Amino acid sequence: MDFVRVELADRSYTIYISSGLMGEIGDFLTPFNLTSKNMLITNPTVYGLYGQRLLNSIHSKDIHCKCLIIPDGETYKDYFWAYHILSEMLKEGLDRKSCLFALGGGVIGDITGFCASIYMRGIPFIQIPTTLLAQVDSSVGGKTGVNHPLGKNMIGSFYQPMAVFIDTNTLNTLPNREFLAGMAEVIKYGVIWDDELFQYLDTYKDEIFTLAPARISHIIRRCCEIKAEIVGKDEKEQNIRAILNFGHTIAHALETETNYEVFKHGEAVAIGMVAEANIAKILGITDDVTVKKITDLIFAYGLPTYIPMSLNKDSLIHHMQKDKKSLVGRITIITPKRIGEVKVTKDVDIQHIKPSLNLLEVRDEKDIGD
Ligand code: NAD
Ligand code: GLY
């Protein structure tokens, strides 16, 4: 078992990482004193795979826990479904001591955390992430929320979980496309923080593809350590936490423009990282070698690297101006300097962004959703 601690004063918590943890989570719950009514939120896919095992483990400790299943998909991470969850919580009589369990990927984690943060002005919640993306990123750090047709993750809160339980065995059932989407966020950590991790991903690519347990545990633990360190320095994204958004200014625009239906979040991040690395080159912040290293590794993990030609570039720019990181329409981009180091570049001129989108268009060869 690996433990990573997120140090945030009275909001500190532990990330537990182990293979086969799902059926043992109940054993770790005693310190949380869960004496009220609690609720597990999941979707039909994940419930079918792990729901009963988790519930058996929780119930074996005489902890009361109902299960609420919402539909599977990013399009359900919205205000309507958050309202539905809150209504069910009220009907079940959850109170201020109740706890929500989020079992699933980033969609379930984000919407469950959001509901926990606003129900009776905030109740505890526990993350049990089952996708690679959720294990290395979304379950840690306390960003919760839902999408709006006018923008990705526009409604939400900073609200930390009480604990995160990662069973690495859950990756064995994850579809390959979802696994690769998670790898985009893993590559992100290499670019923004850790050139050794970046090199590791290149060196052990074949073993990572086959889910070699030692390699998978290493990358999950390392990503959680990096995220814990960054979030510990800047919980509410006043400064350094912004670097975790490398690739995301363009990714969120791509997701919004395509109505959350075309790209997996990680795929949009993969495209966004390549595009933002190119912007860094145009701005003279990085060089060709760094852009090529980033593009090659993303490509090697079978991820898309180009913006589909069919997408309207002016519309993408418009979404970027509405991004949470943009202030009064001025676009912020996380720009790599070299592998392992990035800088936050504010007020990027549209004229510097557009050519990089068009440049990618010319090289387009792996369109998704066209
Ligand atoms: P997801 O939650 O939609 O899960 C992907 C698919 O995998 C779903 O169909 C799900 O049912 C299925 N699934 C989950 N676990 C499985 C398993 N073990 N075996 C088989 N199938 C499984 O997508 P995701 O990529 O996990 O998360 C994307 C979401 O996370 C986006 O909404 C994104 O905005 C959000 N996100 C949030 C943060 C944050 O800091 N809060 C960070 C990154 C991403
Ligand atoms: N995924 C970006 C963040 O947590 O800040």
- Over 60: is that where the pLDDT of 261 sits? yes
- Over 90: is that where the pLDDT of 370 sits? no
Atom number of ligand 2 nearest to Cα 227: 4
Residue 215 shares a structural domain with residue 310? yes
Structural domain including 265 reads 176-367
- Over 50: is that where the pLDDT of 369 sits? no
Domain endpoint, select from 173, 194, 228: 173
How confident is the prediction for the chain on average, in pLDDT?
A: 94
- Residue 359: per-residue pLDDT: 57
Nearest ligand to the C-alpha atom of residue 265 = 1
Radius of gyration of the chain (CA): 20
Contact between 342 and 192 (Cβ < 8 Å): yes
Residue 221 shares a structural domain with residue 169? no
User: What is the count of structural domains for the chain?
Assistant: 2
Domain endpoint, select from 173, 207, 236: 173
Residue 110 shares a structural domain with residue 194? no
- Residue 329: per-residue pLDDT: 67
E-assigned strands of 9-98? 13-18, 38-42, 65-69
Residue 181 shares a structural domain with residue 221? yes
163-167/341-348 β-pairing: unpaired
* DSSP-based three-state secondary structure for 198: helix
Residue 231 shares a structural domain with residue 344? yes
Atom number of ligand 1 nearest to Cα 44: 11
Residue 228 shares a structural domain with residue 278? yes
Q: The whole model's pTM is what? A: 0.95
For the residues 312-337, what does the mean pLDDT come to?
Answer: 86
For the domain that residue 164 is a member of, what is the CATH number?
A: 3.40.50.1970
Residue 218 shares a structural domain with residue 284? yes
* Residues flanking ligand 1, CB < 6 Å: 43, 45-46, 49, 72, 74, 77, 104-108, 110, 130-131, 133-134, 137-138, 141, 143, 153, 170, 173-174, 178, 181, 264-266
Nearest ligand to the C-alpha atom of residue 227 = 2
Rounded distance between C-alpha atoms, residue 9 and residue 160, angstroms: 11
In order of 123, 132, 180, 206, 264, the CA distances from 213 in angstroms are: 35, 13, 16, 13, 24
Residue 59 shares a structural domain with residue 202? no
Domain endpoint, select from 173, 191, 225: 173
For the domain that residue 278 is a member of, what is the CATH number?
A: 1.20.1090.10
Residue 109 shares a structural domain with residue 208? no
Strand partners, 345: 333
Which DSSP string do the residues of 1-23 spell out, in sequence order?
-EEEEE--GGG-EEEEEETT-GG
Residue 88 shares a structural domain with residue 59? yes
- Residue 11: per-residue pLDDT: 97
Residue 289 shares a structural domain with residue 190? yes
Rounded distance between C-alpha atoms, residue 270 and residue 259, angstroms: 18
Residue 116 shares a structural domain with residue 265? no
Q: Which amino acid is at 200?
A: Y
**187: which 2 tokens?**
């590559």
